[in-house]
Amino acid sequence: MSTFNLSWGDRPIELETEGDRKFLRLGAALRVEVTDASVDQLEQLAQVTADLADFRWERIRAARVADEVAAEDGFPYRRRPVAA
């Protein structure tokens, strides 16, 4: 099995259909066939994506707190957005 990294930022995430086959499209570079995925696998995918959203919200909150502390200390520095 190969592992690779893909960063898609805010590119679309869509469900595509080709005939009787279904695909999960992640941006322009990745398409995963989910035609034969079990309900358990799809629910697990939903849970993983919910966990990823929670992770991202925590990073956003942490950056906001850091910016607020810096501003209180007289350093009006704002971080540039970092890719997740």
- 34-72 tens-digit pLDDT: 999 999 999 999 999 999 999 999 999 888 887 777 777
Domain housing 22:
1-36
Give the integer Cα–Cα distance in Å for 59 and 22.
33
Give the integer Cα–Cα distance in Å for 56 and 60.
6
Same domain membership, residue 72 and residue 41: yes
Same domain membership, residue 31 and residue 71: no
Same domain membership, residue 32 and residue 14: yes
Instruction: Reply yes or no on whether the pLDDT at 75 is more than 80.
Output: no
Paired residues of 22 in beta bridges: 17
Q: What is the residue-averaged pLDDT of the chain?
A: 85
DSSP 73: T
Same domain membership, residue 44 and residue 17: no
pTM over 0.85: no
Tokens of 80: 């540039």
Instruction: Reply yes or no on whether the pLDDT at 76 is more than 80.
Output: no
The residue that leads in pLDDT, 78 or 45, is: 45
Give the integer Cα–Cα distance in Å for 7 and 82.
12
Same domain membership, residue 51 and residue 14: no
| Counted domains in the chain | 2
Same domain membership, residue 51 and residue 81: yes
Instruction: Reply yes or no on whether the pLDDT at 6 is more than 90.
Output: no
Same domain membership, residue 26 and residue 55: no
Give the integer Cα–Cα distance in Å for 24 and 22.
7
